[in-house]
Structures are given as C-alpha cells and as structure tokens.
Amino acid sequence: MNFQIKNITLYKSGIGFFIGKCSKKEFVLPVNENDVDDILKSLSVDGLKSVTFSAAEGKDCIKRKIGMDIEVESAFISFSKHLIGLTIEIETDKIYKGKVLGIDFLLLDDIDDEESGVDVLIIQEKNTIQHLPISRIKRIKILDEMIQKDLDVFLELEASTRKAGVTNLSVITTKDDANIQWVAPVSAWRLSYRVQYSQEKNSTDFTGIAIVDNTTGIDWEKIKLQLVTGRPVSFKHDLHTPHYVDRPLISREETGISPLLAQAAVRSNDLRKKSEQYGLRHSKQSPKTLPTTGLSLEGRIGWDITRDVMKTVSTASQDELAATVTYQVVKPVTINRSESSLIPLFNKSMKGELCVVIRDDRIEDGMDAILFSKDLDLEKGVATVHIDDIFAGDAMIVRGTDYLAFRINQDINTIKYVEQTSKTLSVSVKKNQMYQKFSQIATYNFKFLNISDKKMPIVLEIGKLAEYKPKIKPIKETTNFYRYKFDLEPGSSEKTFTFTKIYLTSLYVRNLSEDVVKEMIKDGTLDDKNERLVLKIFANLRKIAQKENELTAIEKEIDYEYSNQERLRDNITVLQEILQAAERNSYIERLKISEKHLEDLESEVKELTQDIKKLRTKI
C-alpha cells in the first residue's frame, strides 16, 4: 500500500477522522462500500489531481453497457463470440491475421462417433477461410482498442466482486508525501472501568479502559490515537449513486406550415390596445448576480496518542473542554482490520467509604455502595467493582454522582409510612374576597431493622414533592431527591422526616354558604374583625338580594303597564271612529292615570338601582 494512516480521532458518536501520508503520487484507498458517500463528502488530498472509482451501478448493468459477459466454465469460446467481425492476430504453429467469423464444431473423418470432433475458430485471412483448432491456439492478440478496453472493464468488474463490500478509490496527486484526510463512520468506542476499593485505606482506584474496533478495510499500524467524548454533527448524503435529472419532453412538430395571409395594416395605437387586451406587457429586467461562497481548507494539527497492554498506570493524557473530554493515547497503537483492542486510558484515586443507600421509591432494595468524598467527574460507563481484591458486583458510573451502588444489601430491612395532613394557618378578608393560608404536611416514618452486629452508615434518599420544604436540612439535594446520612445501630430503630408546603387560596365571600362561615366562626378560624367583615358582607348581600327581588317585581309591573297602555290607545282609536265621545274620554283618563303610575315605577327602579350600586360598592 502506497499510503499509511498516521493519526486517527474516534468520537463516541461513531465518527472517525483519519489523517494519512502518501509515499507515491498514485495510490489506492480501499473503503467500505457503505462509507463511500462520507469519503466523497470529506476527502481532502494535498495537490489532488483526480480520484476515480466505480460508479454505483449494478454488475449486470455495467455488463450490458460494455456488451460483454464471459462464462467461467468455457471462457475462451465465450470470449471468442465477442470477437466476431474484429481483426485479431492468432498464433498456432504459425501466425494468422484476419477477421473472426465464428466458432464451429468439426467431426473427425477417421471416427464414426458423431460426438467426436474439435472446436475450431473460423477466421477470414485475406480471401481465405481458415479453421483453426482451438486446442492448438497459443496466443491471441486483440487489435481493436475498443474491445480491449471493454475486456479490461469486464476483468476489473470481476476482480472487484472478489472483495465484496469494498470500493477502491484510485487517487492521483501532484505532490510527493502528500497528506490525505477523510471522515468516515466507524464503530463507536466504549469506556469501561475497573474499580478497586480498599477498606483499610478507605480509598478507591479507578482504571478507565476503552474498547476500540477497527471496522475499516485498512490495518492501523503504529497510529496516534485520540478518543473524544464529543458528538460533532455528521450526516449521510448520497454522493455516490449516479443522479439523473428529469427533463421535459418536447413533442416533435409534425404539422405542416400554414400559408402566410395578407392582412390590412393596423395602426400602432390599435396594436398597443390589442396587446393590453390580451394581457401582454413588455418589461425590461436587469440581470441579477448570484452570491458566491468560497471554501478553504486549513491545516490540522496532529495528536500524540497510544496503545499498550493493560497496566495500572496512566497511558493517556486527558483534555477537557466544557462537557467534551479528549483522551490522547501516549504510545503508538496497532489494530489490524476486523480486530478490536482494549486500551487503558487513565488511573484515578479517590477517598470513599462503604455505606448502604436506601431510596424511598425502592425501599425494599437497599444497595451496598461506595460513598465518595466528592462528585465523580468520569464519563458514563459500566464498572466492575472489587472490594479488597474480591469481586463485589457491577455498577454504572454517571458523571456528577457521588456514590457507586454495586449490590443488594441483605442486612437492612426498611418499612415506610407516609401521612398527609392539612391545616389552616390564617384567614383575612379584603373587600369581598377571603384569603386563606394553608399548610400541607407530609410526614415520612421509616422503620429500620439492622440484623447485622455492626453499625451501618446509611444514605437515605427521599423523593422531592413539588413545593414542599424539608423541616430537617438534608446533607445534599439532587434534582429529584433530598439526601440524609446517619449511622444505623444493630436492631430496630425509627426515623421521621417532615416536609411542609405553604399555599394561599382566595374566593369571593358571596360564594360561601352561611353554614361554612358559621363553622369557621365556631372553630376560631375567623377572628372578631374578619367575622364582623364577613357578617357585614352577608348583610349587604341579603339587602342586595331583597332589592333585586323588588326591582324584578317592579320591572314586571312596568311591562304590564306598557301592555295596558297599548290596549287603551287601541280602544280610544276605535271609539273615535264610531263617535262614542263619552266612552272615549273615560279611556283617555285611564291612560293618563297609567302614564302617571308608569312614571312612579320608573322612579322607583332608578332609586333601587342606585341603592344596589351603593351596596355593591360597600362589599
């Protein structure tokens, strides 16, 4: 191979960045068939002249294009059929030059068996037809360049199928020792831990080990390796598959040309009107310039990276930028294609103590754990835990936590009781609203039984309730839990934790029933001042209700008077027509009395409306 990979950066998102060096100006880069799009999207070569590769077409499609398909079992005869009509040079016991006519089977004269004969190649040499036994042909030289190229394409196509799933990119550059770099999808590297806890020293040793897979088609020999936890944006885009753009079909003009008929002259004004009638306009458009963008490639810095057998010493340096951690392996790494490797990255020590973690949402599953002196700043990963060189269990390390739970505890039994109570703290009345202040209390009672003969450090985590505050301050508060720590003596014991929620409510006094108010007065919820305010509001509400009833009755009476006046006016009109003056005057007097009564009623309505408005203002 004419190039070698020097640096590799692997990301946890399954992306690899490769940097190599080319020893010659021409070389072949083998890539996985599914990765060609990523290579075409990201490949960069110093002094790049060309990159050629097979198009993403089916094998049968390419064979149809070159018009050649040679059978493996009878390759010579099959190939000879493609030479018909072409001039070739053939060597048997002598050299012939002519055009191929075909292949035939000739029976031998001295043998009666019809199946006994020889295959012959028939050629035309000048004006002579020659039968050349195929078994005697030593060499054929193809004189037609086109058929020679088709044969080369066919052979290359057959050779490529030998290594299925791999596409070779033929790269030509103008520089010696050119740098090459590309991005391709790879197997995401994984991180696992070995955790060793010493009870004598109360100390924990962490060994971080990366699992790296070489899923490319190239061996990684003495490369500089860098492992990054970041997740750069990367996506697939089809650049390999030939893309055909649909074009409109223009039908052929098959009609004859109509004769040109003379017409009367048309004045310019008439022509302009005709154009406007059919919506024709003439506009001048200035050409628009399209924005252009430029792309530039900047040089990249190499990394110092490594592989080594598993040791208990640090073999990688660590850089951290925000939430992204980069591990630079110190020594060169070699991983052959289709192989994986364990690569130790770092060692780290931290003080800690053994404890039992109990969470109220999994009260029956107390877990043995290591409680550390500070939060872990390690990447998420699986861990195998050993206590004094003895396997203790598996765990999952999560960044930001301060304990590592690895097995179910068998010595602590826990029962939880929760009690909810509510209490009114105060009541106040302002205008026509009553404001009440309540306290909601959640009491957690835990009963513990320690069946061992030793005092046990306990870490108790109680789930948070929305807007509840703890009465006893926890040692730590996480997103979802309050944490308490205490020692549990052998035998049974109890612990109580109280959480309180204070909240306010408001409602209109008019929406309260008198029975509720009486109950509040009876139990002392309402003090004398607020009691007087509520009773005053209730008295005003009763007055309002009474006046509203009076108002409703008067409005009904007003409606009746309007109807009565309408009847009186109808009667007066009729009596005037039949000349009944005495009766008509009587109805006129009754109409006057009704109008006076209506004025009095409307005056009462106005007075009641003002009274109701004043009462509402008071409350």
pLDDT at 259 over 70: no
What local confidence, expressed as pLDDT, does residue 289 receive? Answer: 38
Q: Give the C-alpha distances (Å, rounded to integers) separating 553 from 323, 539, 562, 581.
A: 78, 21, 15, 36
Q: How is 416-467 classified by DSSP, letter by letter?
A: EEEEEEEEEEEEEEETTEEEEEEEEEEEEEEEEEE-SSS-EEEEEEEE--TT
In angstroms, rounded to a whole number, what is the distance separating the alpha carbons of residues 220 and 226?
Answer: 13
Q: Are residues 499 and 576 in the same domain?
A: no
- Extract the tokens encoding 143: 């004189």
275-293 as b/e: b if 16+ CB within 10 A: eeeeeeeeeeeeeeeeeee
What local confidence, expressed as pLDDT, does residue 617 receive? Answer: 81
Q: Are 52 and 173 in contact (CB under 8 A)?
A: no
What local confidence, expressed as pLDDT, does residue 175 receive? Answer: 86
Q: Are residues 507 and 532 in the same domain?
A: no
Structure-model confidence comparison of residues 164 and 71, the more confident one: 71
Instruction: Show Cβ contacts of residue 548 under 8 Å, excluding neighbours closer than 6 positions.
Output: 612
For residue 288, being part of any structural domain is answered with: no
Q: Are residues 507 and 416 in the same domain?
A: yes
What pLDDT digit, counting tens, does each position of 337-361 carry? 889 999 999 999 999 999 999 999 9
For residue 479, being part of any structural domain is answered with: yes
Domain boundary among 511, 536, 560: 511
* Residue 612, phi then psi, degrees to nearest 5: -65, -40
Mean pLDDT of 281-286: 42
What pLDDT digit, counting tens, does each position of 405-429 carry? 999 999 999 999 999 998 888 888 8
Q: Are 456 and 412 in contact (CB under 8 A)?
A: yes
Q: Are residues 505 and 533 in the same domain?
A: no
pLDDT at 324 over 80: no
Q: Are residues 98 and 142 in the same domain?
A: yes
Q: Which CATH number goes with the domain that contains 72? A: 2.30.30
Q: Are residues 456 and 484 in the same domain?
A: yes
In three-state secondary structure terms, 179 is strand
Among residues 589, 533, 591, the alpha carbon closest in space to that of 567 is found at 591
Mean pLDDT of 369-384: 91
Among residues 336, 352, 53, 355, the alpha carbon closest in space to that of 218 is found at 336
358-361: long-range contacts (C-beta < 8 A, 24 or more apart)? 358/412, 358/414, 358/458, 358/459, 358/460, 358/461, 359/460, 359/461, 359/463, 359/481, 360/416, 360/444, 360/460, 360/461, 360/462, 360/463, 361/463
Q: Are residues 486 and 540 in the same domain?
A: no
pLDDT at 284 over 70: no
| Residue that the structure tokens 């929760």 belong to | 418
Pairing of strands 117-125, 433-450: unpaired
- Extract the tokens encoding 576: 């005037």
pLDDT at 250 over 90: no
In angstroms, rounded to a whole number, what is the distance separating the alpha carbons of residues 345 and 308?
Answer: 9
Among residues 241, 224, 417, 249, the alpha carbon closest in space to that of 304 is found at 224
What local confidence, expressed as pLDDT, does residue 390 receive? Answer: 94
Among residues 583, 532, 594, 608, the alpha carbon closest in space to that of 559 is found at 594
In angstroms, rounded to a whole number, what is the distance separating the alpha carbons of residues 337 and 254?
Answer: 64
Q: Are residues 427 and 483 in the same domain?
A: yes
Q: Are residues 497 and 416 in the same domain?
A: yes
Pairing of strands 433-450, 491-508: antiparallel
What local confidence, expressed as pLDDT, does residue 339 receive? Answer: 92
For residue 581, being part of any structural domain is answered with: yes
Q: Are residues 419 and 460 in the same domain?
A: yes
Domain boundary among 101, 136, 157: 157
Range of the domain at 104: 68-157
* % the chain with pLDDT above 70: 82
For residue 550, being part of any structural domain is answered with: yes
The model's confidence at residue 112, banded by pLDDT at 50, 70 and 90, is low
In angstroms, rounded to a whole number, what is the distance separating the alpha carbons of residues 68 and 48?
Answer: 33
In angstroms, rounded to a whole number, what is the distance separating the alpha carbons of residues 206 and 557?
Answer: 95
Mean pLDDT of 202-228: 92
How many CA atoms are closer than 13 Å to the CA of 240, on its beta-carbon side?
21
CA–centroid distance for 108 within its chain: 77
pLDDT at 278 over 80: no
For residue 106, being part of any structural domain is answered with: yes
Q: Are residues 549 and 499 in the same domain?
A: no
List the single range of 389-403, 543-557, 575-589, 604-618 with lowest mean pLDDT: 575-589
What pLDDT digit, counting tens, does each position of 39-84 carry? 888 888 888 888 877 665 555 666 666 666 777 677 777 777 777 8
For residue 603, being part of any structural domain is answered with: yes
What pLDDT digit, counting tens, does each position of 168-214 carry? 788 888 888 889 998 999 999 999 999 999 999 999 999 999 999 99
What local confidence, expressed as pLDDT, does residue 7 receive? Answer: 94
Mean pLDDT of 8-30: 88
Mean pLDDT of 538-548: 86
Handedness of CA 390, 396, 401, 405 (dihedral sign): negative
Give the total number of structural domains in the chain.
3
For residue 587, being part of any structural domain is answered with: yes
In angstroms, rounded to a whole number, what is the distance separating the alpha carbons of residues 526 and 520?
Answer: 6
The model's confidence at residue 164, banded by pLDDT at 50, 70 and 90, is low
pTM as predicted: 0.59
Q: Write out the H or E segment, with its range, that includes residue 214.
A: strand 203-214
Q: Are residues 535 and 451 in the same domain?
A: no
Structure-model confidence comparison of residues 189 and 118, the more confident one: 189
| Residue that the structure tokens 């000739």 belong to | 106
Instruction: Show Cβ contacts of residue 180 under 8 Å, excluding neighbours closer than 6 positions.
Output: 3, 19, 20, 21, 22, 29, 43, 44, 45, 46, 171
pLDDT at 99 over 70: yes
What pLDDT digit, counting tens, does each position of 25-44 carry? 888 888 887 888 888 888 88
CB neighbourhood size of 133 (10 A):
12
List the single range of 1-15, 266-280, 320-334, 456-470 with lowest mean pLDDT: 266-280
Domain boundary among 511, 542, 566: 511
List the single range of 27-41, 435-449, 454-468, 476-490 with lowest mean pLDDT: 27-41
CB neighbourhood size of 573 (10 A):
11
What local confidence, expressed as pLDDT, does residue 133 receive? Answer: 82
- Extract the tokens encoding 439: 């306290």
For residue 304, being part of any structural domain is answered with: no
What local confidence, expressed as pLDDT, does residue 110 receive? Answer: 56
Q: Are 518 and 486 in contact (CB under 8 A)?
A: no
Mean pLDDT of 98-121: 72
pLDDT at 456 over 70: yes
pLDDT at 311 over 70: no
Among residues 376, 455, 446, 457, the alpha carbon closest in space to that of 418 is found at 446
List the single range of 7-11, 342-346, 545-549, 573-577 with lowest mean pLDDT: 573-577
pLDDT at 298 over 80: no
Q: Are 225 and 307 in contact (CB under 8 A)?
A: yes
The model's confidence at residue 490, banded by pLDDT at 50, 70 and 90, is very high
Q: Classify residue 84 by its DSSP letter.
A: B
Mean per-residue pLDDT of the chain:
80
